[in-house]
Amino acid sequence: MAPLDILILSNGPGEVSTWVRPVVKALRQKLPNHHQARISVVLSPCTNASGREAAIVRSYDEVDRVQAASHFYPFLLWGKTADNWDWHSRGVVIFLGGDQLYPVIIGRRLGYATVVYAEWEARWHRWIDYFACMTARIRERVAPTLRSKFTVVGDLMADIHQSAQATATVQSALSLPANTELIGLLPGSKANKLILGVPLALATAEAIWRRRPQTRFVIPVAPHLSLAQLARYGNPSQNPYIDPGQRHPPATHPDRRQTHHDRASAPRGLEVDLWTPFPAYDLLSSAAPASHNGANTAELGALGIPMIVLLPTQKLDAMRAWDGIPGLLANLPLLGSPMAKAINALALRQILREGRLFAWPNLWAGREIVPELIGRLTPNQIAEQALTWLEHPSSTWIAIQHELRSVRGQPGAAIKLADLVLQAVNYQETSPPNPHVSNLSP
């Protein structure tokens, strides 16, 4: 049989680590010979991108070729890759992040079948060949005449789980005594969040640690962020948004002791581990369920990790990540700071009036599963919420864990999606019988 090209379209760090990785592993399980099937990944621009997505995908042994997002549009518009890739006559385009219009255009140009993984919604129903849906709700919203294109495969993120070996590895790496509580701190990955998130996270950690000295804290460091950059956000001499009267560790100093993680030391005895391996799912799954989070709520929710979502507003002029005209006004020279305060104050009043939700798990459920703290937040206020979880786990975070898992799809999606890909190119006709294919719902 002629060799097969499998082209995966993806974009951001979450999609690359939680969608692309399990899918390419499942595909190689079905098609282990690289000459039999060639897997290429083309990345598209993403506002949440770290810049390391291409390098991360290149680290996957299952992938043969990778193109970074900076070369995407010439490929989309004219079909030209940066390295002048050739293409087999038979192939399939798999959408795992970006705009669902992309596989329509690229699939037509290459003459390949198209498969879209639809987490929450499916578009371009008439032009896509197959949809792999996270839940049956997506299929139910489609016209009956088109439902044969839709297969419920489950949740790709649900296949990421904590193993006993992973837990032991994390405990060994951090040198954790048996009775130690580990709390994950996620202050953000971009400047507009780190500038508030780092000092607030460190101050909250100190407030918890003084009440529960058996607690250890760890920050999973974003892949594009150096330890020196992270330390600057906790230093009052370099971060003008740190309140001088706030009791928090004023500086962190990375102290490289091992190859897999570092430790930030601070006054008054508090130490925070800095975890650099990416993605940090094993670490977060091993942590006590009190993650203070400014981003990554989708990944944490899919892993069933309870979190406290923080939207601090005490420094309104620091929040300038708006799109369009508001973003331009908020970043004007001289006038930017007062404009940012005014825009954010108006936005905050509207948010509070409408009771809007921000965390992805809450948006999935249409109600608040994990707490969202909005306003002029204090470290003690956040610490009290976390301490309640730690002191009464059976009635708080365990219940939240169950709710988080209930709003996602079922595990096993990667293998089912791989079966659907083989079905899209009629590959199973000459392959050994595959029990998964016969179980695919139409």
User: Measured between alpha carbons, how far is 200 from 229 in angstroms, rounded to an integer?
Assistant: 16
User: Measured between alpha carbons, how far is 18 from 155 in angstroms, rounded to an integer?
Assistant: 10
> 185 with 295, same domain?
yes
Question: Is the pTM for the entire model greater than 0.75?
Answer: no
**Total domains, the chain:** 2
Q: What pLDDT, on a 0 to 100 scale, did the predictor assign at position 364?
A: 81
> 361 with 218, same domain?
yes
> 69 with 128, same domain?
yes
- 34, pLDDT greater than 70: yes
- 147, pLDDT greater than 60: yes
For residue 250, the number of C-alpha atoms closer than 13 Å in the C-beta half-sphere is: 10
pLDDT over 90, % of the chain: 34
Radius of gyration of the chain from its Cα atoms, rounded to whole angstroms: 23
Reported confidence tier of residue 349, pLDDT bands at 50, 70, 90: low
- 37, pLDDT greater than 80: yes
> 211 with 283, same domain?
yes
> 241 with 303, same domain?
yes
> 386 with 316, same domain?
yes
For residue 150, the number of C-alpha atoms closer than 13 Å in the C-beta half-sphere is: 25
Lowest mean pLDDT among 42-46, 200-204, 337-341, 406-410: 337-341
Q: What pLDDT, on a 0 to 100 scale, did the predictor assign at position 267?
A: 55
> 320 with 419, same domain?
no
- Residue 68 Cα to chain centre, angstroms: 18
> 177 with 55, same domain?
no
> 368 with 236, same domain?
yes
- 380, pLDDT greater than 50: yes
| pLDDT tens string 293-347 | 444 787 788 778 888 988 877 654 445 454 444 444 445 455 556 655 565 556 5
Name 215's Cβ contacts closer than 8 Å, sequence gap at least 6.
180, 181, 182, 183, 208, 209, 288, 390
> 127 with 194, same domain?
no
Range of the domain at 309: 164-406
> 202 with 245, same domain?
yes
Q: What pLDDT, on a 0 to 100 scale, did the predictor assign at position 83?
A: 96
CATH code at 11? 3.40.50.2000
Q: Are 288 and 387 in contact (CB under 8 A)?
A: no
> 218 with 336, same domain?
yes
Beta pairing, strands 271-275 & 261-265: antiparallel
Share the mean pLDDT of the chain: 79
For residues 189-213, give the mean pLDDT: 86
